[in-house]
Amino acid sequence: MNLKQLAKHLNLSPTTVSRALNGYPEVGAETRRRVEEAARKVGYRPNPHAMRLATGRSHAIGHVLPSDRILMIDPHFSDFIAGAGDVYSASGFDVMLHVGGSEAEETVYKRYAQSGAVDGVVVMGPRLNDFRIALLTELELPFIVHGRVGDLEEGYAWLDIDNRGAFRQATKLLTDLGHRRIGLINGNEAMTFATHRRQGYEIALKACGLNADPAIMTSDAMTEENGYLQTKRLLLSDNKPSALLFSSMLFVSGAMRAAHELGLQIGTDVSLIAHDDGLPFLNAEGLVPSLTTVRSSIRAAGSRVAELLIEIINNPEAAQPHELWTVDLIVRGSTGPVPRT
C-alpha cells in the first residue's frame, strides 16, 4: 500500500497524508489522528527509495573500511559496529558497509557524496595524517572520526579515548612497582591510536628519568602470533624487560603462550598490562592470573559515535563535537613488583 492508495482510502490528498505522517503543522489534529491510525492499521511504510529521491536524504550511514585494513578485518571493528548498529536502528538509519574491492576508497566517498547514498559517514582507524578529513570536508559529507588524526583536534568531529593518558597511567603503574625496563608491543604506529599510546608510555618513562628504548618497542599488526613472537624475542634478549605493555588483547594471547613456554610466571617474573577494548570473546579477567588492563569499551564508543553523527546530520550548524573518553586502569593479577635477579 502506497501513499496515494492510503490517501484515497482516507478521502484525503496525498499531500495531507504525507504531512500528517511527517509531523508538519498545517494539518488538523483530528485529521492527523485519523491518518496515523489508518497508517498503523494497514501497516503503511513509505517507500524509502521514493523518499530518498524526493528529499535527497538517504537515512543511511556509511562505513567504509580503510583499504589498509581489508586484509586484516580486525575483530575490533565488528564490535564497534555492533554498538553503532543499535543506535542506527533505533533512529531509523540504515548502515551501508563498504569493504574492500577494487574501487579506491576515495572513489567510494565521492560516490557517496555525489549520489547522496548516505547522509554521513564514520571514519574508522584514522592515521596520523589522514587524507579522509580533507576529502570529506571538501565533499561536504558529514562525518565523525572514531579516534583522531594525529594531534589535529579542530575542524572535524571526533570521539576518541585518551590513549596517551591510558598508557601513561599503565606505564606509571609499572614504574611505581619498580620496573625500569618496560617493553611496548604496539599496533601499527601509522595509526593515531598507536602513536598516542607510545607517547603516553614515553611520557611516563620520562617522568621517571627513563628513556624509551627502541630495542624493546615494536609496532605491528595486532595478531596473536605477533604477540607471541615479539614477547618471546624480548624476553629472550639481553637486558630483557621486566614488564610488557600491549596495545591489544590479541597480542596477550600470544604473549602468555610465550611466557609459559619460557617458564616465566606472569605477575612475578614478568608483568603484563594490555589495552582491553572489551572484545567479548577475549576476557581479560578470565585469564590466569587475571590481566591488569586499561579498559574502554569499543562497543560503547560505537554507540556514542553513531549518536553524535546523527546529531551532526540533523543539525549541521551546531558546533562539531569533540569527546575524549578517559580510560580506566584496572589493576589485577598480572602486575607485580620487579623480580629481584
**Stretch touching DNA by CB under 7 A, among 47-55, 98-106, 159-167, 200-208:** 47-55
User: Of 17, 81, 166, 255, which lies in the binding site for a copy of itself, with binding defined by CB under 8 A?
Assistant: 81
Nearer to DNA by Cβ, of 21 and 324: the residue is 21
Q: Segment near DNA (CB under 7 A), from 5-13, 73-81, 229-237, 324-332?
A: 5-13
Residues across the chain: 341
Q: Which of DNA, a copy of itself, none is residue 288 near (CB under 5 to 8 Å by kind)?
A: a copy of itself
Strands in the chain per DSSP E? 60-64, 94-98, 120-123, 143-146, 157-161, 182-186, 217-219, 243-246, 271-276, 292-295, 322-325, 328-330
Q: Retrieve residue 2's grid coordinates.
A: 502506497
Local structure of 124: helix, strand or coil: coil
Return the residue of 72, 236, 318, 331 that touches a copy of itself, per CB under 8 A.
72
* 208 membership: H or E segment, kind and range: none
Regarding 256 and contact with a copy of itself (CB under 8 A), the answer is yes
The minimum distance between CB 213 and a copy of itself, in angstroms, equals: 26
- B/e letters for 211-234, b = 16+ CB within 10 Å, e = fewer, are ebeeebbbbbebbbebbbbbbbeb
Decide: is 11 part of the binding site for DNA (CB under 7 A).
Answer: yes
CA 235 to chain centre: 31
Kindly give the pairing relationship between strand 94-98 and strand 143-146.
unpaired
- Closest separation between CB of residue 8 and DNA, Å? 10
# of chain residues touching DNA (CB under 7 A) = 28
Q: Binder to DNA among 3, 61, 184, 272 (CB under 7 A)?
A: 3
Binding site for DNA (CB under 7 A): 2-4, 11-16, 18-19, 21-22, 26-31, 45-47, 50-51, 53-56
